[in-house]
A and B are shown apart, each in its own frame.
Chain A
Amino acid sequence: ETGVTQTPRHLVMGMTNKKSLKCEQHLGHNAMYWYKQSAKKPLELMFVYNFKEQTENNSVPSRFSPECPNSSHLFLHLHTLQPEDSALYLCASSPRWDTGYEQYFGPGTRLTVT
C-alpha cells in the first residue's frame, strides 16, 4: 500500500441513503484529491483540496459533498445518489497541488448504487 487508506473498500447503498467515504494519508502531503473511475471512461477529477482549502470542483453534482477537516483526512459525503454514480472512487494525495509531483492513490471504494 502507498500510505493512503480508504474506507470502506466496498459500499452498496440505495438511492435514498446517506453515506460517507473516508480517506486518510500518512505521507505529510498538503494536497488531496477525489477521483471517479467508471468503466470505459478516463479517470475524472472531482475535487482538489490544498492545505484544507477546496481549490477545484470539477462541476460535480451537489449530491457529492466533500469535506477536508485537516491535511490528512478527506471525506466524500454521499446523498441521494443515482445508479450512474456507481463507480470506483479513488482518493489521492501529493506533496503540493502541482502536477509536477506524483500522486499517491488509495485502493479505492467500489460504490454500487441500487
Chain B
Amino acid sequence: SQQGEEDPQALSIQEGENATMNCSYKTSINNLQWYRQNSGRGLVHLILIRSNEREKHSGRLRVTLDTSKKSSSLLITASRAADTASYFCATGVTGTASKLTFGTGTRLQVTL
C-alpha cells in the first residue's frame, strides 16, 4: 500500500513555537498533498508537492519531500491557536489508477 503514515499521532505545543509533522509512504508516487481538518469539518488543502520537487513554501508552511526515503515533512512556523487541527498527508499516483491515499493524521494542539 502507498498509504501515508503521519508521525507523531499527536503533538502539543505552545503558541509561537514551530510544529513539525512527518509522513512516510511505501511505494512510488507522483505527488503528495497536505490537508488540514478542523474538528468534525471538511478537509482544507494546504500544499501540493510533486515528486520532482524537494521543498515548497506557503506562508508559514514549509513542506519537504524526500523520494529516496519515501518521506515528507510539514513545518508550521510561529504556530497560532488557530492552527489547532488534524493534519493529513495524501499520496497520489496519476494515470488510470489515479487516487489519493490518506494517512491517519497528526492531531496538533496549540495552546496559549
Q: Which A residues form the contact surface with B (CB < 8 A)?
A: 2, 4, 6, 40-43, 45, 48, 56, 88, 90, 92, 97-108, 110
Q: Which B residues form the contact surface with A (CB < 8 A)?
A: 3, 30-31, 33, 35, 40-45, 48, 50, 88, 90, 92-94, 98-105
- Interface residue SS majority, chain B: strand
Rounded to whole angstroms, the CA-CA distance of A100 and B102 in the bound complex is: 14
Query: Is the pair B42, A41 in contact by a Cβ cutoff of 8 Å?
Result: no
Given A45-B99, A107-B42; 10 other pairs, CB 8 A cutoff: A40-B104, A43-B90, A45-B100, A45-B101, A92-B42, A99-B100, A100-B48, A102-B45, A103-B100, A108-B40
Rounded to whole angstroms, the CA-CA distance of A90 and B88 in the bound complex is: 15
Rounded to whole angstroms, the CA-CA distance of A90 and B99 in the bound complex is: 15
Question: 23 interchain pairs (CB within 8 A)?
Answer: A2-B44, A4-B42, A6-B42, A40-B104, A42-B105, A43-B90, A43-B102, A48-B99, A90-B43, A92-B42, A99-B31, A99-B90, A99-B94, A99-B98, A99-B99, A100-B48, A103-B43, A103-B45, A105-B35, A106-B42, A107-B42, A108-B40, A108-B42
